[in-house]
Amino acid sequence: MVRALKGVILHGGYGTRLRPLTQTGPKQLIPIANKPISQHVLEDLLEAGINDIAFVLGDVYPEKVIEYYGDGSRFNVKLSYIRQGEPKGIAHAIGLCKDFVGEKCFVVYLGDNLLKGGICDYMKDFEHSDYDGMVLLCKVRNPEQFGVAKFDPNGKLIRLVEKPKKPPSNYALSGIYFFKPIIFDMIEDLKPSWRGELEITEAIQLLLDNGFNVGYRFVEDWWKDTGTPEDILESNRLILDEIRHNMKGLVEDGASIQGRVSIEEGTSIKRGAVIRGPVVIGKNTVIEGRVYIGPYTSVGNNVSIERGEIENSIVMDNCHIDVEEKITDSLIGSNSTINMNQIGPRGYRLIIGESSRISV
């Protein structure tokens, strides 16, 4: 039986490990390859044919999420907004969506997760199954930091454990879930965990304990939970590995473009500049002649870079950079200015929040 699904994107949490970037906005709006993380999620749902989607908002500048996505018309999607406020757990956030979901089946997608290849094939499996719920599992090196699956000798899923000290397997919940509305009944029976949250692992465990049919699929390629600066930069590398060469801006004679580089409209690459891909550069940006931009770098819109070398970094919108040094492995928040005239043997690794100014 084919089921029409709705989509739920969870957009809450404090993002403490990503401060100072999350002191002025939610972590899910941090850009990777020049798109907010949650836009990658939204586009994944759209590619799977889901066009009725709700964002569950936290209390970290939720108005910025609404301002960016609006009613969804520019993404050809119908959007709703549900306010969770203070984070009380994934299951709590899902429970708030009962009226939005109604009698439909639905997919829940954490707004700070990325999945290569998307959910389309997994969704088809769920649509044609008799599952009451289905989870995506990914093999990880540090299962004690996740919800972890336990299987019986025949490979049947029998238990889910949240952040176990002794993990029963190396297979973690990926943050993407498929449900029938019966999950809401399970959530209503939950009590807060030791963390003070309603745990999705416990809700799914109730499905199992009550005889409902819970399936699973293993993630076949990479999956990323973008909870730290290192995760953000690795995700940026993974996505840039898949970009196509795209030259919409102006590249002057004498500028060097090497490898796969995407340059958007209104951007100018001046004579003498070197861009070595994979690199993506947004709209209305100016890269002057004394600039080298190396692999795995994303440069946003309305950026001005006068001097310097930048590699394996994310430079967000409306930044100005003029340095003698090398900037590497860095996250530079929007509307920031960096002026460095000292010449030294080593480069800088920076994590700079929005509207910052550095002068040396």
**What is the value of pTM for the model shown?**
0.91
pLDDT at residue 177 greater than cutoff 50: yes
In this prediction, residues 313-341 reach a mean pLDDT of: 92
The DSSP bridge pattern shows strands 297-299 and 357-359 to be unpaired
What kind and span of H or E run contains 357? Answer: strand 357-359
pLDDT at residue 2 greater than cutoff 50: no
Q: Which residue has the tokens 């960096």?
A: 338
**CATH node for 246-359:** 2.160.10.10
Q: Which residue has the tokens 């953000």?
A: 232
Q: Summarize pLDDT for 10-69 with one digit per residue, the tens.
A: 998 777 778 888 778 889 999 999 999 999 999 999 999 999 999 999 888 889 999 999
**CATH node for 5-226:** 3.90.550.10
Query: Where along the chain do its domains lie?
Result: 5-226, 246-359
d(C-alpha 327, C-alpha 350), whole Å: 7
